[in-house]
Structure 1
């Protein structure tokens, strides 16, 4: 069975970091409310991609999403006619947040569910208090009704560009999502279908990535190798490949004089490998 990192990559979020431990801490913690994950980081919308991929990777039945900056929320599948109270007065429509949270509560009664609340910094502070009540007490109130949560089935993911309301932060487990992968992975030629003759190229690439302070993901590394074999013949070509293939790559750092030697070492190692392959093929 694939691990969490591989399953998340299949859902569109690729990283060298492994979030198995943080997920276990979240899911296995006792609670009478809702297990809540606070997703922080410098990845901007990468945090949204992380939350969505994680929700699908753990195999829940329902993934519900609400963005507080969305001025035009999606139209519900069923549009109910306006309701009236006992005095005949027309009641206002249900707010999008109330609709999505009450749906999550209802779904959690029988199925595993993840509710993602994104861009929480744009929400009114009173909504932060209501979300804190949901996380700690396990219910959501809409007008005169109360929706109870099954705490064994619902997970709450919170994303904000600003620090959460203090009490809400204390009720959640916090995880950091980087803009780029910081965990160094040593790639081997055999993992990419290459012989030991390719090791000098892999060593040169390792030195280059160390100088850049990053390590590409496996698919990014595979693309870079392919471009070195087919297209890149100069250090300028390699700069363009690295920027084009690696998420979060700093263009200014790529252009620095300190990278001239590591870049040229990679180009030379790639050239030697191509010469060796050509001789063996002949």
Structure 2
């Protein structure tokens, strides 16, 4: 029986990773800020699948919260065989309008937390000769759209290098790059989404299914759905002035 540690596991893509990995028989460590949600999810997963589930309430933008997650991730007595770095959030406004503290916390969550947890699990995975890491990025990583895109571009670049470097030792590292996905992400961000076309949305279930499949295949980058694969290809030829101006509307507009 292997153990998967999932950050941002209380909702959205993270919660779907927990459901699908539990259905495959993996024990889980669920990490998120909301303890009540984690406890509820843990009870449901244990009841449905008969697995073991640990919960860790931690804010990964806080040094103490990240340190607690790192300690659990590198515990040799309870080894983590699958790491899913999923925790994340978006910033609605332009860089110069956002308080610097919000931008720094945003960077810590998307870059420092990912780097720290990868660093924590890799020695054990390499010693055992097997392991999988899935770093949830975004198709925004391929487009110049503020610090969110910049952070996700780091995730993709790091995952590509790490997969090439560690794959020969039995450890795969995959950057999962979904497009618009039906979760709480945009609501928490305060972004109006009713104007976006229905065809542009993916389900968390399909995103996670594709990500797990590509991770098992040892791919360094996973872009779910043909339409977002096409968007990534198109992004390589369109000028930055076109790609760099997404229409983001605050809720209520």
TM-score w.r.t. the length of structure 1 is 0.27
Which protein is bigger by CA-based radius of gyration?
1
Asked which structure has the greater RCO (Cα within 8 Å, sep 6+), the reply is: 1
For normalisation by structure 2, the TM-score amounts to 0.29
